[in-house]
Structure 1
Amino acid sequence: MKILTILPWADWLALVCFFSLWVGYAVFAKTWARQRPSLLATTNRYRRYWMEQAITRDPRMLDGLITQNLSTTPAFFSSTSILVIGALFALLGTTDKASELMSEIPFAQATTLLVFEFKILVLIAIFVYSFFRFSWSMRQYTFVALVIGSMPAPERFESGEFDRRAYADRAAALVASAAETMNDGLRAYYFSFALLGWFVSPLAMVIATTVVVAILYSREFRSEVLHILRD
C-alpha cells in the first residue's frame, strides 16, 4: 500500500495509459482484422493451405521439419525472457547505482529508489507474461506435430473414411493458435521497450507507447510483406 502514496499521480496516469493502449490495441487488432485482413489473419490462410497439402503427402517428414523449425522461434524468445528476468532481478540489487546513472540522462525525472524498484518490477512482470506466452506457443507446436503425426494415409482420406476438411481445419486452427500466442509474446516485447521511457519520465513512456502502437499497426495492417502475401 505504501507504493500507492509514494508513486506520483503522473506516474499512475502514465501506467494506466500504457496498459490501456496495450490492451486496447490488442482488442482493436483482433476486431479490425475481420474487416481488413491483418498480417496474422493473412498468414493463417497460408497455414490452411499448408495443412491441405500435408493431408495429401505421405510420408509427412517435410511437415514435421516445418513444425520443428516454427517452434524454434518461441523457444528462443522463451529462453531469452528467462535471461532478461534474471538480469532485471540482479538489477534490483544495484538500484542505487542504476538510479544515479538514470539521473545523469538529460530530461530524466528524479525518482526515489522505491519508485525506481517498482518500475523494474513492472518490467519484470511484462517479461514473465511474455515467457508464459512463448512457452505456451512452444507447447502448442508440439500438439501440431502430434496432429500431423496422427494424420491417416492419403488413401484413407480419398476413400472417405476420414473427413479431409475437418482434419485440415483442426490442424490449421491449432497452428494459427500457436502463431497468435507467439504474437502476444512479441507484442509484450515491443511494449517493454515503451516502458523503458518510464525511467526517463511519465510523458516519455506515453509517447513511446504511442509510437509502439503506431509501429505495430503499420506492420500488421500496412506493411509491404502484407501486400505481397495478399496479392
Structure 2
Amino acid sequence: MTLLDQLASHPLALRDLIALVCLFAAWLGIGWFTERPPQGRPSVSVLMTRYRREWMRYFVSREPRIFDGNILASLREGTAFFASACMIATGGLLALIGNGDRLRTIASGLELDPAADTGWELRLLVPMFFVANAFLKFVWAHRLFGYCAVMMAAVPNRPDHPDAMDRAMQAADLNITAARSFNAGLRSVYFALGSLGWLTGAWTLMLGTAIVLWVTWRREFASTSRQVILRSLPAPQLPDRVSGPAGSPASAPPPPPR
C-alpha cells in the first residue's frame, strides 16, 4: 500500500491536522520573527549582522589575513558537517519509511493514542521534510560562504584602494546571507526533532512543537549570549535592516548603550 493509499483509506484526524498546522505555523512564525524582530528587541541573528560587517571593515586593513581565512574555513566546516548529518538522517528516514511494517511491529508499544489511524510512514514524512529542508539550507550556506571567500580574496591589499571597502562590504553581505541560511537550517533541525513526537500521538506533537518554539525563542531573544553581544554593540556602518524574500525590512538593532 502506497502513502497515498494510506492517506485515502485513513484520513488524518482533526487533532492531527490541528497539531500539524501548529507545527508549521510555529516553524514559519519563529523564522519570520527572528529575521524581522520588533523594533527595540532585535534577535541574536540580527545583532550579529553588525559584527559581521565590523569583521569585514577590519579585514581591509588586517595584515596578514590568515586569521580571517581560518574563521571562514571553520564556518564552512560547520555547514558541511550539518549538511552531511542531514543527508545521513534523510537516508535513515527513507529506510524507515520503506520498512513500515517492521517499524510498526517494533514501535507499536509507543502509541499513546490507540484510536489514531495515521500510518507510521506518514508520520515520518514530516521530520523528513524538515531534515531535507535543513540539508538544502546548509548546502546553500556552504556555497555562500564560498562566494564570501572569493569576494574576500578580491579585496585589494591596500586599505586606501578605492574598491577595498566596497568589496569588503559585499563580502559582509554574502556572509550575512549565508548565516541567515545556516540559521534557517538549524531551525529546521530543531523542528524535525520536535515533529518526531507525532510518532506517539497528536498531543505529543503539540508538546514537542511548544518546547522547540520556546527553546528557539529563548536562544534568540533571552539568552546569555544575547546579553554578551549587546554589551558592546558596534555602531552601524550600513543599514542593518535585512530584507526577506518578500522584500520587507527587518528591524535594526538599537544603538549601543552609552
Structure 1 residue aligned with 2:108: 103
The correspondence of residues 82-101 of structure 1 with structure 2, limited to 5 A, is: 82-101=87-106
Cα deviation, residue 209, structure 1: 0.4
Deviations 1:132-178 (A, max 9, x none): 00000000010010011010122xx42x53262x3332221111111
Q: CA contact under 8 A between 2:197 and 2:205: conserved in structure 1?
A: yes
Letter in 2 for 1:22: W
Asked if 1:25 corresponds to 2:24, the answer is no
Query: TM-score normalised to the size of structure 2?
Result: 0.81
Deviations 1:17-75 (A, max 9, x none): 11011111111222215431211122222111110111012442221121111111110
Listed as ranges, the gaps of 5+ residues in structure 2 are: 232-258
Q: Distance in 2 between matches of 1:142 and 1:44?
A: 18
Q: CA contact under 8 A between 2:93 and 2:124: conserved in structure 1?
A: yes
Deviations 1:73-115 (A, max 9, x none): 1100100111001111111232223223332137354645x62
Cα deviation, residue 207, structure 1: 1.5
Structure 2 residue aligned with 1:133: 137
Q: Distance in 1 between matches of 2:190 and 2:25?
A: 15
Structure 2 residue aligned with 1:71: 76
Letter in 1 for 2:162: E
Structure 1 residue aligned with 2:173: 173
Alpha-carbon distance change, 39 to 71 in structure 1, aligned in 2, over 3 angstroms: same
SS at match of 2:110: coil
Structure 2 residue aligned with 1:162: 163
The correspondence of residues 16-55 of structure 1 with structure 2, limited to 5 A, is: 16-32=21-37, 34-55=39-60
Q: CA contact under 8 A between 2:123 and 2:198: conserved in structure 1?
A: yes
Q: CA contact under 8 A between 2:198 and 2:204: conserved in structure 1?
A: yes
SS at match of 2:198: helix
Q: CA contact under 8 A between 1:108 and 1:199: conserved in structure 2?
A: no
Alpha-carbon distance change, 5 to 94 in structure 1, aligned in 2, over 3 angstroms: closer
Structure 2 residue aligned with 1:217: 217
Q: CA contact under 8 A between 2:34 and 2:45: conserved in structure 1?
A: no
Structure 1 residue aligned with 2:151: 147
Structure 2 residue aligned with 1:190: 190
Q: CA contact under 8 A between 2:97 and 2:121: conserved in structure 1?
A: yes
SS at match of 1:57: coil
Alpha-carbon distance change, 69 to 33 in structure 1, aligned in 2, over 3 angstroms: farther
Alpha-carbon distance change, 198 to 109 in structure 1, aligned in 2, over 3 angstroms: farther
Q: CA contact under 8 A between 1:133 and 1:185: conserved in structure 2?
A: yes
Q: CA contact under 8 A between 1:51 and 1:171: conserved in structure 2?
A: yes
Q: CA contact under 8 A between 2:72 and 2:149: conserved in structure 1?
A: yes
Alpha-carbon distance change, 80 to 33 in structure 1, aligned in 2, over 3 angstroms: farther
Q: CA contact under 8 A between 2:111 and 2:199: conserved in structure 1?
A: no
Higher helix share: 1
Q: Distance in 2 between matches of 1:58 and 1:212?
A: 43
Listed as ranges, the gaps of 5+ residues in structure 1 are: none
| Identity within the alignment, % | 30
Q: CA contact under 8 A between 1:33 and 1:41: conserved in structure 2?
A: no
Cα deviation, residue 190, structure 1: 0.4
SS at match of 1:32: coil
Cα-Cα RMSD: 1.9
Alpha-carbon distance change, 86 to 143 in structure 1, aligned in 2, over 3 angstroms: same
Between 60-69 and 196-205, report the one with greater CA deviation. Answer: 60-69
Alpha-carbon distance change, 111 to 98 in structure 1, aligned in 2, over 3 angstroms: farther
SS at match of 1:56: coil
Query: TM-score normalised to the size of structure 1?
Result: 0.90
Alpha-carbon distance change, 141 to 102 in structure 1, aligned in 2, over 3 angstroms: same
